[in-house]
Amino acid sequence: MRLFGLFMLIFVMWIMILMVSYFLIFIIGPLHINVFYNSTDRIISSIIKASLAIGLVVVLILLLGTLKTKYLQKTLKRN
C-alpha cells in the first residue's frame, strides 16, 4: 500500500495524456475553418490547428509538472 499514491499519479497522468490525444485526433483533426472560401483556407485552418495543438500540449506539460510537484511535496512532507 506504500506505492498506492505513486500508482494513482501514474494512472492520472496516463488518463490526462489519453484525453489530450483523443481531443487532438478526433476534435482538432477534422476541424475545418472556412474564412475566404478559397485555397488560403487550408493554410489558415492548418495554422489554427497547429496553434491549438501546441497550446494544448503546453498546458498538458504544465499540468503534469504541477501534478508531479504536488505528489513529491506530499510524499516528502510525509517522510
Cell of 49: 490547428
H-helix or E-strand spanning residue 50: helix 40-78
Could you count the other beta carbons within 10 Å of the beta carbon of residue 12?
14
Could you count the other beta carbons within 10 Å of the beta carbon of residue 9?
19
Cell of 7: 500508482
> DSSP string spanning 2-33?
TTHHHHHHHHHHHHHHHHHHHIIIIIITT---
Q: Tens place of pLDDT for every residue, the chain, 79 residues? A: 678 989 999 999 999 999 999 999 999 988 887 777 887 888 888 999 999 999 999 999 999 999 999 999 998 888 7
